[in-house]
Structure 1
Amino acid sequence: MTAARTATTDTARTATTATRPLPPAPGVTHRFVTADGIRFHVAEAGEGEPVLLLHSFPQHWYAWHHLLPLLAADHRLICPDLRGSGWSDAPPHGYDTDTRVTDVLALMDTLDLDRVRLIGHEWGSWLGFMLCLRAPGRFSHHLALNITHPWPLHRRLLPNAWRYWHTAPLETPLLGRRLLRHSPGFTRQLLRRGTADPAVWSPEELDEYARSTAEPAHARAAEQLHRAYALHDIPRLVRGRYRRQRLTTPTVILAGERDATLPPSVLAGADRHTDRLRVQVIPGAGHLLHQERPDLVAEAAGALFHG
């Protein structure tokens, strides 16, 4: 699978998508498919059992380019740009978690994926938990990077809420989109701050994500994504929305020992809601494990998927 391919099921677009060239990634192919009324860009690599990889903000499919070569020999790796990111459509609305879950399930249907293994990072991992709770039969395993589960202990989470200071301007109407459009250094700094060693980033990688989030439709989408989480997901957590739900999908949370946003200490509390989840802490790593230690992410994926 070394030649690029593009397959389009529908030429209609709900919003202007990116026209920038795709960043290079050897062995990766690209196509566009329409699902849930959205034109999605999907990057793929490898052959074998399907693995769905869900990126976070402010990244897109390219977030996985260090990990893909480590897993492609044994897996078909499917990396969509989620609604409002990368080269997928960025409609004016629909950035709440429930809609994004529906997006992913519809995309799986369009791609004829009955059941997949799942890898996600932060926002993508949170989406992964919601997918596993809504449609557990469609996900055989879930590797969640740098995210908490749906049953955090408030006494541990609340003292660390200050670590999410950067979300306050992003979720503020009009301010969030202006910040991303006109201050690309903010995006670069978020990514640098997220890693224990900022040297893991190349200038080209930082520039790619800064340019992507600065596009008007993407900046608006990011603002709506953060605001929807603040208005819907946080109140659900406070009210204990998920306390009657049980996770049946075998899941591993990989945490960075030096994660400045989500320290491993907040990851307790799921015992009463699942016996299929365990936490593994990566020494010396931060909040972007797929960027910092793709080798250990690949090792954890192999152990989970084939253990």
Structure 2
Amino acid sequence: MPLTTTEVASSQRERENMTSTINPIVNHTLRANGIRQHYLDSGSGPVVVLLHGFPETSFAWRFQIPVLANKFRVIAPDLRGYGETDKPASGYDKRNMAQDLIALLDELGIDKIALIGHDRGARVATRFAKDHPQRLDRLVVMDNVPTRVVAQNMNAQTARAYWFFLFHLVPDLPEALINGKEAEWLHYFFADWCYNPHAIEGTDFDTYVKAYKCPGAVRGAMSDYRANAEDVKQDLVDADTKIACPTMAIWGEDFYTVGGMFDMRTVWEGMATHLRAEPIAQCGHLPQEEQPERVNTLLLDFLGTWKG
């Protein structure tokens, strides 16, 4: 049933409240692990790090940062190859991207964190959890099937659903075809991947288009995918090592390539020792943008005992 005008207005007010905060969101850059990294910083207290996915940037967390910053110091970097962070020719395997975060934290004098990753950011977060368990108190992974699990379940059906994985692996061709068509390219993903195909429109959509029109931005995102073979190789080495810290897996029930194709509870029970599983109804691939109120409630509850 369509929302009434009153319901739409009420929802809009709730989202506006989420983006208004007494804690300013400050843009910073610093050099760490050999690249210039851009990150958003807001609030004070125990540190919570947010890692975005594809096809997004740190802008994806605009509904979470103001809410979380009331209790925590929130840091949201642009991953290597994305947004305002450098887009070098190499270094996109998830072990090195996790090292990007370690270097960023070291520069900021931060030891232990709570880590939240969505999509590609969840792949970085998973590698971070396995490579640097001493730096992690708790982990949230959002709408992500681990790289190794996707590879091990690749068949004709999976390949059709994950066609973009394969397309992005082709050298140079995606960049050539997407150049000048960034808006059309992004609109396809946002409309297809969201339960409500109009979830990301207007100035929010324009912000993403602007980011991907920047020199090297599409190539950076493609490079993230082109590290797939190395990522799988890394993941196979410690496949039997479970993530030890408390872990919450969140996913949209209505995204066909994740909740629609995989038993996500079982998948993440195979990845983490202490798992909390939280599917979100009427939600696609971008829970933090599609259902921000529900996501924020889950995050605040899960992070509630994080004291730094």
Between the aligned partners of 1:282 and 1:33, the Cα distance in structure 2 is 36
1:156 deviates by: 6.3
Between the aligned partners of 1:266 and 1:152, the Cα distance in structure 2 is 11
Tell me how large the CA RMSD over aligned residues is. 2.3
Helix, strand or coil at the partner of 2:241: coil
CA contact (8 A) 2:78 2:85 kept: yes
CA contact (8 A) 2:32 2:100 kept: yes
- Which moves more between the two structures, 53-62 or 26-35? 26-35
CA contact (8 A) 2:95 2:128 kept: no
TM-score calculated relative to the size of structure 2: 0.84
- Closer, same or farther: CA 223–149 of 1 in aligned 2, 3 Å: closer
1:94-113 paired onto structure 2 within 5 Å:
94-113=91-110
Between the aligned partners of 1:25 and 1:60, the Cα distance in structure 2 is 20
Q: Partner of 2:69 in structure 1?
A: 72
1:216 deviates by: 3.0
1:234-249 paired onto structure 2 within 5 Å:
234=232, 240-249=236-245
Cα deviation per residue 1:215-266 (whole Å; 9 max; x = unaligned)?
231122122111111x2234566xx433331210111110111013312633
TM-score calculated relative to the size of structure 1: 0.84
One-letter identity of the residue aligned with 1:227? R
Between the aligned partners of 1:273 and 1:198, the Cα distance in structure 2 is 31
1:276 deviates by: 1.0
* 1:189 and 2:188 correspond: yes
1:59 deviates by: 1.1
Helix, strand or coil at the partner of 2:263: helix
Between the aligned partners of 1:288 and 1:171, the Cα distance in structure 2 is 23
Helix, strand or coil at the partner of 1:166: helix
Q: Partner of 2:144 in structure 1?
A: 147
Between the aligned partners of 2:152 and 2:28, the Cα distance in structure 1 is 45
Q: Partner of 1:171 in structure 2?
A: 169
* 1:126 and 2:133 correspond: no
1:11-160 paired onto structure 2 within 5 Å:
27-149=24-146, 152=149, 158=155, 159-160=157-158
Helix, strand or coil at the partner of 2:225: helix
**Unmatched runs of 5 consecutive residues or more in structure 1:** 1-23
CA contact (8 A) 1:289 1:297 kept: yes
1:297 deviates by: 1.3
CA contact (8 A) 1:179 1:186 kept: no
Q: Partner of 1:4 in structure 2?
A: none
Between the aligned partners of 2:180 and 2:130, the Cα distance in structure 1 is 38
Q: Partner of 2:293 in structure 1?
A: 295
1:210-221 paired onto structure 2 within 5 Å:
210-221=209-220
**Unmatched runs of 5 consecutive residues or more in structure 2:** 1-18
Paired-residue identity, %: 26
Helix, strand or coil at the partner of 2:245: coil
- Equivalent residue in structure 1 for 2:250, among 245, 248, 254: 254
- Equivalent residue in structure 2 for 1:282, among 274, 280, 283: 280
Between the aligned partners of 2:170 and 2:63, the Cα distance in structure 1 is 33
CA contact (8 A) 1:157 1:266 kept: no
Between the aligned partners of 1:225 and 1:25, the Cα distance in structure 2 is 33
Between the aligned partners of 1:283 and 1:241, the Cα distance in structure 2 is 35
- Which moves more between the two structures, 249-258 or 43-52? 43-52
1:116 deviates by: 0.6
CA contact (8 A) 1:54 1:80 kept: yes
One-letter identity of the residue aligned with 1:140? D
Helix, strand or coil at the partner of 1:58: coil
One-letter identity of the residue aligned with 1:106? A
